[in-house]
Amino acid sequence: MYGRHQWRRRFRANACRWTAPRESILDLLGRTRGHLSAKDIYLSLQPTFPGLGLATVYRTLELLHRLGIVQKVTSSDGQGRYQLRSVDQQDHHHHLICSRCGLIVDYRDFVREELELVKKTEDALAKKYNFVIQDHSIEFLGLCEKCR
């Protein structure tokens, strides 16, 4: 479902050394549907890569984020949570984030007006800034049902 080879190519094209721990970070993100923090990833990779430090995991995630390979959302605890950006349009989603408990809701059942607005906005921005828009990430912050 995730075009891992495509990511790898993009990663290499950016002159980054492709190491086994880094690859395993991508693999883990590819296997997980939810959002992982650097610490989650660090803890689950510890048994396999005892030499891998939390700082390296964090730096790798930030790099992947800059390259547009992962999406990052920041929840109320201030920790970034990461999710592989899918190349599959079917998996495209937006986020609702609870700023109290940190709940992250992925939704794909967009309302029609939302799709139209995004499309219109992208077209207008592309024209105004002469910019080729390839993707976007949209998040709404607020309070979930439990925290209201």
| Residue numbers at the binding site for Zn ion (CB under 5 A) | 83, 98, 100-101, 103, 106, 144, 147
The minimum distance between CB 93 and Zn ion, in angstroms, equals 6
Q: How many H helices and E strands in the chain?
A: 5, 6
Of 115, 116, 111, 106, which is closest to residue 140 (Cα–Cα)? 106
* Residue 40 vs 49, nearer CB to Zn ion: 40
Q: Which is nearer to Zn ion, 87 or 103 (CB)?
A: 103
**What is the nearest approach in angstroms of Zn ion to the Cβ of residue 58?**
19
In 3D, which of 31, 22, 19 has the Cα closest to residue 59? Answer: 22
By beta-carbon proximity to Zn ion, the closer residue of 60 and 83 is 83
Helix extents (H) in the chain: 4-13, 20-31, 38-45, 54-66, 112-129
Distance CA 104, CA 130 (A): 33
For Zn ion, the closer CB: 44 or 99? 99
Closest contact distance (angstroms) between CB of 106 and Zn ion is 4
As measured in angstroms, the least distance from the Cβ of 127 to Zn ion is: 19
